Amino acid sequence: MSNKNYDVYFDVGSSKIRAGAFNKNNLENSFFCESDYFLDQSYLDSNVKKIIFNLEKKTEEYLDEVNLMVDSPEILSIFISLSKKLDKAKLTKEDIQFLVQDAKQQILRNYLDLSIIHIIIKNYKVDDIDYFFAPMDKNCNLLSIDIIFLCIPKKKIDSLKQVFSKFDVSVNRIISSSYAKSISYKDNFSSIKNISFIDIGFYKTSIINYKKDHISFFQILPIGSHHITKDLSKILKIDLKDAEKIKLSFDKSDNDLNEESFSIDLIQEIIFTRVEEILKFSMKAIKIDDNYNLTEELLVVLMGEGSKILNNKFNKKISLIDNHELIKEDAASICRAGLNFNISANRQEVLIVPKKHIKTGFFEKLFHFFNEK
């Protein structure tokens, strides 16, 4: 176990980096910082270096280990369903372990270039009856489980680890930022039974569905706010840097758009045409989910840097979604989501323990959540 006083989380985005150092004994004594926006990935190293130096100065500790929160259009969500005949035997933990291990091996065999970062049990079906949690010790003929695997290219992980290794920092765990944030933020909407999170990032948009507090769907679309920047650049005939500046200042009252020779109405039309396309594809994905129920009201929660353009001033322009909320995020809320994900029990998540931490049997660690009540 680390003798450090702080646990550190880095949210490494495609255009911005955020970090939080959490005091293990007093969470109020925590520190947060973030980088400036960057379009060129060659600035990643220097931004990581600056934040590491900043955190070490604030915490008065040498930083040697971090947890990474990542989101990328390269993350792949893979759904797999497997069954096992039990012939009226009692359902045991070992039966579920067998199916999860089988599914995991199928993923590893067929996706050689991917690493699994999350294993999520979506549903248990025992003799054609659905359960959110496994009905242990129940006699049954057939057990089926539906599993969501979130995977990321190994080369992406290696690239990120290499960046941090330059500063003698190792990576402990890799977490999907969108997934962790959705779990953290949904507690703000505990009375809502049908909720979807749309996380608009720089190059991607993540959609996460929850049905009665249980994740039922995860998908990533390869479209994000950078497409807005490219639209502005192409139509206004300006470079990407100036287009990004216009996009970022669009929702601010003190913006400098009036100094430009462009029509505010034209800029607004360009931006919202692309935003509506992103929301249209997102809503289409939500309605494809087999748990989508037209009879139940759906709350859509918008989050991510790309959603900031839809502040209160422009919120009413969202016509594709009847019921929605916009979450204002900062480095603290994002990194806290990573911390909460790591320290809180999640009975849908199959915990993947880093090899250096495994001392007991693989499944004893993997299925610790069966003991949760």
Q: Domain for residue 86, yes or no?
A: yes
Structural domain range at position 130: 76-152+362-371
pTM of the model: 0.88
pLDDT at residue 353, rounded to an integer: 54
Same domain, 109 and 221: no
Same domain, 238 and 304: yes
Block mean pLDDT (10 aa), the chain, length 373 = 86 94 93 90 91 96 96 92 92 91 95 95 92 88 94 96 96 95 92 91 94 89 93 93 85 52 84 90 81 70 86 64 86 96 84 52 46 39
- Look at the chain and report how many structural domains it folds into: 2
Residue type, 83: S
pLDDT at residue 257, rounded to an integer: 53
pLDDT at residue 372, rounded to an integer: 42
Q: Domain for residue 314, yes or no?
A: yes
pLDDT at residue 260, rounded to an integer: 56
From the list 157, 275, 278, 286, the residue with the least C-alpha distance to 218 is 286
CATH number of the domain at 86, please. 3.30.1490.110
Q: Domain for residue 280, yes or no?
A: yes
pLDDT at residue 289, rounded to an integer: 67
Q: Within 10 A of 190 (CB to CB), how many other CB atoms are there?
A: 9
pLDDT at residue 357, rounded to an integer: 47
Q: Domain for residue 319, yes or no?
A: yes
pLDDT at residue 339, rounded to an integer: 96
DSSP labels, 264-312: HHHHHHHHHHHHHHHHHHHHHHHHHSTT--TTS--EEEEESGGGGGS-T
Q: Domain for residue 341, yes or no?
A: no
Same domain, 257 and 320: yes
CATH number of the domain at 232, please. 3.30.420.40
pLDDT at residue 248, rounded to an integer: 81
**Contact between 336 and 344 (Cβ < 8 Å):** no
pLDDT at residue 294, rounded to an integer: 56
Locus of tokens 């839809």 = 310
